Amino acid sequence: MKVLLAGATGFVGRPLVAALQSAGHEVVVLTRRPSGDAGLAPGVRSASWDGRTVSESWAGELDGAGAVINLAGANIGEKRWTESRKQELRQSRIEATQAVIEALQRLPQGRRPGLLVNASGIDYYGDRGDEVVTEESPPGDSFLARLCVDWEGAARKAEPLGVRVVLMRTAVVFGRGATALERLAMPFKLFAGGPLGSGKQWFSWIHLDDAVGLYRLAMENGEARGPLNVVAPDARRERDVAKEVGRVLGRPSWVPAPAVALKLALGEQADLVLHGRHAQPRKAQTLGYSFKYPDLPGALTQALTGT
C-alpha cells in the first residue's frame, strides 16, 4: 500500500522506512526539508510539510493512501525542560497530529486512508511503583503522562472518520547509536556507572528491531487498534539494568547517582530516569508477535557492541 510517514528521519523512522520498502510498500515521507536535502533512501518520495498546517503539498498524498504513520515530535531528552521547552514538546506532537486529522476530515470517507498509527510514550502511565502495567491501565499525572493523554486524544479523533487508530506507547529504544543508550552508558565507560536514584524503579525498554516490528504489526494486523505497549517482556529494575550495562561493557556498576543530585541537575526532566513502570506487551503477545530481542542481556549486547 501507499504509506505516508511523518518523522521519518528519527531513530525509529529511518529503519521503519527501510522495512516498509522491503515489504513492498510505497513510502511518502512528510518532511520540513526540501526533497534533495532529506537524506531519503532511493525510491522514497517526499512531500513538504511544517508539522502544523494542512497544505496541498502533502495533504493531497492522503488521497489513495492506505495508511499514515505519525512519529513527529521534538526530542524529549534533548534539552532541559524549561516552560518554553515543555510547550514546544506539546505543540510539536499535538499540532502535527491535529494537522493529520484535519487533512483526513477534508477527504470523502471512501478516499481516506484506513489506518493511522500514531506515536505515543510509555510515560502515559506515569510513575507506577511495582504495579504491572498493561494497555488497560489508567494514565498517570506527570507532565509526560498528561502530554501522552492529550496526544492520544488528538489521534483518536480519526476514529469517528472510519479510520483504525493504533497508539504506540513506546519505551526507551535500544539500538546501535541510540542517543538515550549512549547517555546511559557514558558514565560506565568512564568507570563511574551505577544505579540511578534508588535503583528500585522498574525500567521498560524495547530493541529497535522490535520497535520497527511492532509498527509493522500495527499496520498489517487488522486486530490491532487502540493503545499498544511497545516494550519488551523483560522489564527490569533500574539497578539490574545498570549491572547488565556494566557487564556488557566490562565496567563496574556500583557508583550510584542519587535522586537528589539528578533532580538538581535535571529538574523535572529527572522524571525520565526516576519514574518507573513495569510495563508488559500484553496486546502484542495476544496478537502473536514474536520478539527478536525479548531479553535484556541480548538486546544490550547487540546495541552496545554490535554482536
pLDDT at 140 exceeding the cut of 70: yes
Q: In this predicted structure, what is the pLDDT of residue 223?
A: 97
Per-residue pLDDT tens over the stretch 263-304: 888 889 889 889 999 999 999 999 999 999 999 999 999 999
DSSP state of 196: B
pLDDT at 168 exceeding the cut of 70: yes
- What mean pLDDT do residues 72-79 have? 90
Per-residue pLDDT tens over the stretch 188-246: 999 999 999 999 999 999 999 999 999 999 999 999 999 999 999 999 999 999 999 99
pTM: 0.95
Q: Give SS3 for 49.
A: coil
Percent of the chain whose pLDDT exceeds 70: 98
Cα 38 to Cα 29: distance, rounded to the nearest angstrom: 9
Sequence-ordered list of residues with C-beta below 8 angstroms from that of 197, at least 6 positions apart, any chain: 238, 257, 258, 259, 262, 273, 274
Q: Is 174:181 a contact under the CB 8 Å cutoff? A: yes
Q: Is 287:221 a contact under the CB 8 Å cutoff? A: yes
pLDDT at 37 exceeding the cut of 60: no
Per-residue pLDDT tens over the stretch 89-133: 999 999 999 999 999 999 998 899 999 999 999 999 999 999 999
Alpha carbon of 189 to those of 39, 106, 183, 242: distances in Å? 32, 53, 10, 12
- What mean pLDDT do residues 125-144 have? 96
What is 2-175+204-231+280-292's CATH topology? Answer: Rossmann fold (3.40.50)
Q: Give SS3 for 158.
A: helix
